[in-house]
């Protein structure tokens, strides 16, 4: 998903990028091991690599000349060639011809669902004043979210298993939780605070109550063990390694010792960078600034802290 805009937006993106970069650097050892394993076992004449996620294609394309220069510097003039292409579409659809890919990578994306659970869309169940799971969620709501993730994740595995050659590798990272409890603070607190900010704009009359009640995040933070079960049930991939990556509460501030208000500001900026396109299309672009200002105040006034938990799983396509 492309994020465009002026300097303010760029700063939000920079803060969010810092968090992603911290996660990527943690995931490097497992990622490098997967690449090495692939090269040592089944190195084909040409290697097809897919990186699946939310990308600003224009930014990726602009970065390519520098990338190719660096490749030449590090590997010599004769190295390559390396061909790059952008594939539009959702990773919940088939993206590549069958048995085409040797390596699949997806970073920080698979916690996004293909859609809001249908039970919420058709109003069979409601989620009044909230936008994701919370402490007060009904069992039906919890089930609806868990089932949607299960369907999406098994569809993702099925599609990728078709596209990947036997012996091919796949490394996925996504937001996750270390507890079976689907409404623990670890996975729900920030969504709850964002819902509070939206409720504030409702009471100010800036947002209609029905507008908030009809918005739910197409998001799910799964329990790491459920993820393993999903991969085992699919049966096409064997797990080589699974790692839980934990970033501290104030990781958006780049690991420096900031105070609560500054950390609140960084977290709000980071959330804005990721969520603004979705929220703006539902609530209107004009309320984004007041919304995230209020979110920042709410986080600053709160005392709770949660760690940001991701899971990294490395697997091999079975023969």
Where on the chain is the footprint of a copy of itself (CB under 8 A)? 2, 46, 57-58, 60-61, 64, 81, 83-89, 94-97
Closest CB 113 distance from a copy of itself, rounded Å = 19
My answer on whether omega of the bond before 91 falls inside 30° of 0, hence cis, is: no
Q: Which of 74, 108, 69 shows the shortest CA–CA distance to 91?
A: 108
Contact (CB, 8 A) for 91 and 153: no
Q: Which is nearer to a copy of itself, 28 or 64 (CB)?
A: 64
Nearer to a copy of itself, 84 or 246 (CB): 84
Q: Given the complex with a copy of itself, which of 87 and 121 has the nearer CB atom? A: 87
CA distance 115 to 127: 16
Query: Which long-range contacts does 46-49 make (Cβ < 8 Å, 24+ apart)?
Result: 47/102, 47/103, 48/96, 48/100, 48/101, 48/102, 48/103, 49/101, 49/102, 49/103, 49/104, 49/105
Where do runs of H (alpha helix) occur along 181-259? Answer: 185-203, 209-213, 224-234
Which one, 13 or 287, has the nearer CB to a copy of itself?
Answer: 13
Q: What is the spatial distance between Cα 294 and Cα 194, in angstroms, rounded to a whole number? A: 9
> Smallest gap, in angstroms, from Cβ of residue 105 to a copy of itself?
17
For 255, phi then psi, to 5°, come to 80, 0
Least Å from the CB of residue 223 to a copy of itself: 34
State residue 136 phi and psi, 5-degree precision.
-95, 10
**Interatomic CA distance for residues 180 and 172, integer angstroms:** 20
* Distance in Å, CB of 258 to a copy of itself, minimum: 37
CB of 100 to a copy of itself, least distance (A): 9
- Return the number of the residue (81 or 139) whose C-beta is nearest a copy of itself: 81
Q: How far is the CB of 44 from a copy of itself (least distance, A)?
A: 12
């Amino acid at each position: 998903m492309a994020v465009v805009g002026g300097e303010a937006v760029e700063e939000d993106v920079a803060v969010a990028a810092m968090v992603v970069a911290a996660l990527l650097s943690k995931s490097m050892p497992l990622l490098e091991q997967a690449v090495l394993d692939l090269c040592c076992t089944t190195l084909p004449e040409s290697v097809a690599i897919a990186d699946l996620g939310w990308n600003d294609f224009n930014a990726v394309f602009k970065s390519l000349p520098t990338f190719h220069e660096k490749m030449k510097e590090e590997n010599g003039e004769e190295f390559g060639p390396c061909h790059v292409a952008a594939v539009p579409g959702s990773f919940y659809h088939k993206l590549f011809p069958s048995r085409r890919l040797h390596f699949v990578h997806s970073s920080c994306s698979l916690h996004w669902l293909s859609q809001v659970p249908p039970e919420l869309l058709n109003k069979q169940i409601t989620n009044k004043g909230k936008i994701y799971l919370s402490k007060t969620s009904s069992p039906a709501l919890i089930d609806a979210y868990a089932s949607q993730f299960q369907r999406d994740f098994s569809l993702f595995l099925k599609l990728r298993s078709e596209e990947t050659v036997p012996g091919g590798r796949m490394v996925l990272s996504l937001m996750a939780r270390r507890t079976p409890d689907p409404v623990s603070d670890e996975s729900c607190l920030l969504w709850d605070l964002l819902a509070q900010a939206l409720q504030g704009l409702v009471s100010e009359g800036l947002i209609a109550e029905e507008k908030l009640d009809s918005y739910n995040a197409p998001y799910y933070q799964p329990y790491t063990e459920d993820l393993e079960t999903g991969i085992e049930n699919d049966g096409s991939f064997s797990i080589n390694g699974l790692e839980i990556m934990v970033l501290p509460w104030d990781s958006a501030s780049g690991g420096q010792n900031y105070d609560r208000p500054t950390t609140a500001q960084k977290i709000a900026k980071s959330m804005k960078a990721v969520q603004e396109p979705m929220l703006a299309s539902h609530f209107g672009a004009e309320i984004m600034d007041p919304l995230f200002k209020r979110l920042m105040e709410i986080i600053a006034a709160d005392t709770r802290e949660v760690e940001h938990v991701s899971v990294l799983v490395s697997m091999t396509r079975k023969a």
